Chains A and B, each alone.
Chain A
Amino acid sequence: MNLALAAIPGLPMLSATLLILFGRQIPRSLGAVLGAGSVGLSAVLVAGQLLAYLDTPTVVTATLWTWMSVADFSAAIAFHIDGLTVVMMSVITGVGFLIHVYSVEFMWEDESFSRYFAYMNLFVGSMLLLVMADNLLLLFLGWEGVGMCSYLLVGFWYKNPANGAAARKAFVVTRVGDALMALGLFVLFTDLGTLDIQPLLLAANLNWEVGGTVPVLATALLLGGAVGKSAQLPLHTWLPDAMAGPTPVSALIHAATMVTAGVYLVARLHGLFLLAPATLTAVAWVGLATLLLAASAALVQQDIKRILAYSTISQIGYMFLALGVGAFSFGIFHLMTHAFFKALLFLGAGAVSHCLHHELNIFRMGGLRTRLPVVFLSFLIGSAALAALPFTAGFYSKDGILLSAFTAPGIGPWLWAGGLLGALLTSIYSFRLLFVAFFGEAQTEPDRKPGLPMAIPLLILCALSLLGGLISQPLDGVLPDAGHPQVPHLIEWISIGVPLLGVAYAYYAYIVRRPSSSPAEAGGDSPVEGFLFAGWRVDALYNLLLVTPYRTLARWCQGEPIDHFYNGVVSLNRLCHRGLAALQTGELRWYATTFVIGLIAVVAIVLRSAP
């Protein structure tokens, strides 16, 4: 049992090691088999776990070895498999496997083919460790591990310094969150004496009172980590830039799995968050603010991947909103459906750029509906699910979130209204993308069509995005049961109708009154559009407040200011030396004279002090 569990993250990691060691020696096809096959194998193993869990929902634990044990602290390399873990593992290996297969064709011509698969496998392994971890330290290992893989893959094409900058930004910004999360772990350990998740939750229930200082502090710090990794306000700025990596990377890491780790963390530790209602409310507000900011920024982007990136930020905002109002299972449900349709959209975007000479600007596409029908189908279904049109996967999850938000005590209607506005924006920007890129006049002719390794994952994801809403997740007993929220019918109808309104507006604006010329490169003509295009200029703010001062400080200190002190001592020494050296003229008579004067002085002193 231990071995089978260990093999789930172990296989991709083993494959990554082999690819790193022998990547240059083995042929591409073998690298592809190794890279995709290892993830496929662990997907099979995960399927076994899933079936077993569906059959009899029992928690499986396995301890491989003691990681470290010092004084009263101990952490093990140990796994804890329950319903939530099984859902996450299925999403990671399932969607991950499809993306790996897709990547075989997408990356075939790249000179660093094996390096790519090595990093991707390493990522899948780390992500699996993150969700399988039995204690927060191992979770943190996976947490930082996926961050590292994200860094490696965003900067995969390292020759372009802009990619390197994006990769560093992604790592450093998320590291801010990670540092907060580490502090959260310290608070938890200091207060509760353990980092093993289950005993921790028990101890918290016993020792903490609802709304106490320590629970709020600890969960707020953990929230900091979640916000960093999941690209929520105020640490969201790295995600749009992270699109510098290969598109399947964006699909896997920056849409389907890694960025939802924050959602997983909050859901996994919901027992702690329920003891800190203030933090939970903060989670909801963070989610709402992020989803509105990101959705409005997505409205005016021109780069297809940037639209999807802002959309991802915004959708994770919905998940945070769900978590914040206590609808944990809806949050995880949306995490799953979002993984399906956002992976689909990203892979579709990858297919477009793959076939269109690496073109990413939607205003230079157009008319792709007839030229790339498979991709069009993907985008149609993906956009529908993203906009939460009825009966798509996104509809079930997002509707659940909105209605749960409405029932939240006190602030419910406000959250609901905000979420609804977000839903309107979502449907507008997703169909704007579809209408601009796939309808109208063709601007660029595709030079090839996606082959089978790309088409099949797209079609499978299409099916999942359509039907994924019918999957019932085995989350009973793991997360508190939200049930279907009871709201007035009017509210329900409004929630369903608003996205359709958005689609209608997009149709009017981008099909009926299709703009004759593409907007300016900098993102539109009015200052409002420019403001939205720059993501509300948060980046500029951070540059002003943090980046520039740090650089300036570094430049000031470059020459080691502390050395001025030691150099001062040296100078003083040298000054004394000069002064004394000046006495040493080399003139014999001067020496004799001073000698005599000295002698007289000594004798005088001796005589004076003699009794």
Chain B
Amino acid sequence: MSLSLLIFLPLLGGVAAWLAERVNPDLPRWISLLTCLLVLLVLTSSGLSALADPASSQWLLYSQTDWIPRFGISFELALDGFSLLLLVLTFVLGLIAVAASWSEVEERHGFFQANLLWTLAGVAGVFLAMDLILFFLFWEVMLVPMYLLIAIWGHENRGYAAMKFFIFTQVSGLLMLLAIVVLAWQGAALTGKLSFSYGDLLGLDLPPELAFWLMLGFFLAFTVKLPGFPFHTWLPDAHTQAPTAGSVLLAGILLKTGAYGLLRFTVPLFPEASQTLAPVAMLLGVAGIIYGALLAFAQTDFKRLVAYSSVSHMGFILLGVYAFNELALQGAVMQMVTHGVSTAALFMMAGALQHRLHTRDMRKMGGLWQQAPRMGACAMFFVLASLGLPGLGNFVAEFLVLLGLFAVAPWMTAAAAVGMVTAAIYALWLMQSAFQGQPDDDRQMADFGVREMTTMAVMMVALLWMGLYPQPILDLAAPAVQSVSNLLPANTLVAGVAP
């Protein structure tokens, strides 16, 4: 019951926010705030009680209701530590997105907040659904409101960006739908029962050739969303054009659905086929790390730079997932959470700058530390987090990924370690061109206020905590991660990349 509440609360909250605008234009954002808080409350209370009294099964919480029994489709939701972690991230970033949009949105407040909440509902559904058709449904549900967020409240080139985002995700999503249907059909042929349930489709004895193609369908959908090199080109446009709250949600959560899908579906459903693909996936990961960092350095647009840094960071997730050992997988999970926080913060920073300076062009910035030292200090913190400074969460993630990867693919690790240097180059360049250098004395700019500092402080504390004491998160994700890493013999040297 509480699981479906996690999805329906934001859905209904969205409707309420939409209607509430007629009463008072300030009301919608309060409704959003309350909805997110309420969901977090439900989530933590049910999550904690389930953790205190762990069931014997794989899931902490599980619920199933028939939906279209004729085709073996049911409304099946389940929660484990991994999805609990991502759901908490989702709604905390939801709160932050509401805070980011507090004074930025100038028209159609109600519909904006409604779309925000509907996106969150879709994401929550993606993290909970255990029926593949239901999963696909939520996959689409989160796409449409996000499209609207970009297309209605975006910046100057929003139409193009929104369309590109939609087409990339939609095309790859259709490949996944095809794979889902064929997989279920094949499952029916093998077991005699048509079912789209995750549990029923695990461990099917598929012909290797077919398994590979089906895996590719899932892989493409998730890699486009992640985004992995070379399917990432929608991301810089979408992130740059989206309103701040949209960028926060996109970078913070929507990208994680891709990573979640790889970990939850692609690898467990097709372990052997995934292993065949591993060298290619790793290569894409490394290419993404270096290419993303190179292009981030080349940008002059603040948001675009941060967007490319996301491409670079997501490369680590590909590496972590396809190293198939617990260390690297835990690193990938950590990366999902820490990147969500650090990049969301950087996008908020970009939004705050655009709100104040009416530009994202870093050539028109410089010396902002003089006028806004609090912003400067926050930016420095998150830039350092983003380049992987030990003591902050992102380092733990990247270190674990590379440590795990080294045992299976040393040369890939060496190439990925180049990312440590290139990340420093673009991150410090960002700092230099926006906040350091000669200040423009004619410029008047307000520093962060209480609301903005509070959100920043929340994210800083989160990153410090994850950097210095990540153990609770690692423990929470451990069962899910171990079940994935146990699918394949530990520390198998991946063919083609071993020395």
Contacts and interface: CB of A to CB of B under 8 A. Distances in A.
A and B directly contacting (CB within 8 A): yes
B459 interface: no
B425 interface: yes
A605 interface: no
Contact of B298 (A140, A175, A557): A557
Given A68-B396, A145-B391, A171 B424 contact: yes
Contact of B406 (A158, A168, A190, A560): A190
B330 interface: yes
A77 interface: yes
B377 A20 contact: yes
Contact of B327 (A70, A145, A160, A185): A70
A566 interface: yes
Interface in B365-416: 367, 369-370, 373, 377, 380, 384, 389-391, 395-396, 399-400, 402-403, 406-407, 410, 413-414
A77 B432 contact: no
Contacts of A151: 428
Contact of A140 (B230, B369, B390, B478): B390
Contact of B407 (A65, A144, A179, A190): A190
A67 B295 contact: no
A229 B389 CA distance: 15
A572 to B, nearest CB: 14
B429 to A, nearest CB: 7
Interface string B419-438: 01100110011001001111
Taking chain B's interface residues, is the majority helix, strand, or loop, or is none over half, making it mixed?
helix
What class of interface size applies to chain A in its complex with B? 35 or more
Contact of B299 (A161, A179, A183, A558): A558
Interface in A10-28: 20, 24
A185 B413 CA distance: 12
B233 A554 contact: no
Contacts of B369: 158
A159 interface: yes
B295 A558 contact: yes
Contacts of A143: 390
Contacts, number: 132
Contact of B236 (A165, A179, A560): A560
Interface in A147-184: 148, 151-152, 155, 158-161, 164-165, 167-168, 171-172, 175-176, 178-180, 182-183
B35 to A, nearest CB: 32
Given A161-B432, A171-B428, A560-B233, A186 B327 contact: no
Contact of A68 (B291, B367, B370, B400): B400
Contact of B421 (A73, A160, A175, A554): A175
Given A70-B330, A179-B420, A155 B413 contact: no
Interface stretch (B76-84, B184-192, B215-223, B463-471): B463-471
B297 interface: yes
Nearest to B469: A65
Interface in A362-397: none
A553 interface: yes
B474 A68 contact: yes
B418 A141 contact: no
B370 A182 contact: no
A555 interface: yes
Given A164-B436, A562-B233, A554 B298 contact: yes
Contacts of A168: 425, 428-429, 432
Contacts of A160: 438
Contacts of A190: 406-407
Contacts of A554: 294-295, 297-298
Nearest to B374: A24
B32 interface: no
A504 B330 CA distance: 64
Contacts of A148: 384, 389
A70 B326 contact: yes
B159 interface: no
B425 A172 contact: yes
Interface string B222-243: 0000000110110010000000
Nearest to A554: B298
Contact of A69 (B377, B395, B471): B471
A482 B407 CA distance: 38
A109 interface: no
A141 B384 CA distance: 13
B88 interface: no
Contacts of A158: 367, 369, 435-437
B137 to A, nearest CB: 27
A161 B432 CA distance: 8
A588 interface: no
Contacts of A155: 436
B325 interface: yes
Contacts of A161: 432, 436-438
A193 to B, nearest CB: 10
B4 to A, nearest CB: 33
B181 interface: no
B417 interface: yes
A179 B233 contact: no
A73 B403 contact: yes
Contacts of A176: 421
Given A71-B327, A555-B298, A558-B298, A186 B402 contact: yes
Contacts of B294: 550, 553-554, 557
Contacts of B424: 171-172, 175
A152 to B, nearest CB: 8
Interface residue tally of chain B, by bracket? 35 or more
Contacts of B72: none
Contacts of B380: 152
Contacts of A144: 389-390, 395
A183 B399 CA distance: 10
B439 interface: yes
A566 B172 CA distance: 14
Contacts of A167: 428
A553 to B, nearest CB: 6
A461 interface: no
A189 interface: yes
Given A168-B429, A175-B420, A189-B403, A71 B438 contact: no
B233 A183 contact: no
A167 B437 CA distance: 12
A172 B417 contact: no
Contacts of A442: none
Contacts of B389: 144-145, 148
A137 interface: yes
B302 to A, nearest CB: 15
A417 interface: no
A168 B470 CA distance: 29
A187 interface: yes
Interface string A216-256: 00000000000000000000000000000000000000000
A67 B468 contact: yes
A327 to B, nearest CB: 31
A563 interface: yes
A164 B431 CA distance: 9
22 contacts: A67-B469, A70-B330, A71-B325, A137-B390, A145-B390, A158-B435, A158-B436, A159-B438, A167-B428, A168-B425, A171-B424, A172-B428, A182-B399, A183-B406, A185-B403, A186-B402, A186-B403, A186-B406, A558-B298, A558-B299, A560-B233, A565-B230
Interface of A: 20, 24, 65-71, 73, 77, 137, 140-141, 143-145, 148, 151-152, 155, 158-161, 164-165, 167-168, 171-172, 175-176, 178-180, 182-183, 185-187, 189-190, 550, 553-555, 557-558, 560, 562-563, 565-566
What are the 4 A-B residue pairs with the smallest beta carbon separation, nearest first? A186-B406, A554-B298, A141-B390, A158-B436
Given A77-B468, A171-B424, A560-B233, 19 more contacts: A24-B373, A70-B327, A73-B400, A152-B380, A159-B370, A159-B436, A161-B438, A168-B425, A168-B432, A178-B420, A179-B420, A179-B421, A182-B417, A185-B403, A189-B403, A554-B298, A555-B298, A560-B236, A562-B232
